[in-house]
Amino acid sequence: MAPFALNGSFSNLALEEIEVFFGEDHIWAEFQNNGDSLAFAARWAAFSRASVGPTLATSLDPGEGRAAEFMRRLEARMAARLSSEPQSTLIPLVKMVLVKESSGRPLDSGL
């Protein structure tokens, strides 16, 4: 909420509503049903590779092909670690409603 703290608006956007909640760890629920720690670890590692791997790899030189190797190692090592000690994960999520403003007044979306 920091960008909106001073006057409730930032860069022609106003924060109308915000809700923080925890999402269900579906991968953990599946593990509890089948007890397959390798599948549990593989799913979390693949999810992490897809969701945060590219951001982590941005600091690597793209011309050297290191990003692909970094992501492969990240996924493999994460899977190895998670399979040895499966744990449930708290997944914080945020629902935000932003309103675009024009000249200090909210725009009518026409809906």
Residue 85 has pLDDT above 70, yes or no: yes
Domain count for the chain: 2
At 4-54, the pLDDT tens digits run: 778 778 888 888 888 999 999 999 999 999 999 999 999 999 999 999 888
The residue segments making up the domain with residue 42 are 36-89
Beta-bridge mates of residue 15: 98
Q: Quick one: 48 and 68 in the same domain?
A: yes
Residue 30 lies in a domain: no
Task: Please say if the pLDDT value at position 110 is more than 60.
Answer: no
Does 42 lie in the same domain as 80?
yes
* Whole-angstrom distance, CA of residue 66 vs CA of residue 94: 33
Whether residue 66 sits in one domain with residue 44:
yes
Position 62 pLDDT exceeds 80? no
Indicate if 46 and 67 belong to the same structural domain: yes
pLDDT of 39 reads 97
Per-residue DSSP letter, 60: S
pLDDT exceeds cutoff 80 at 104:
no
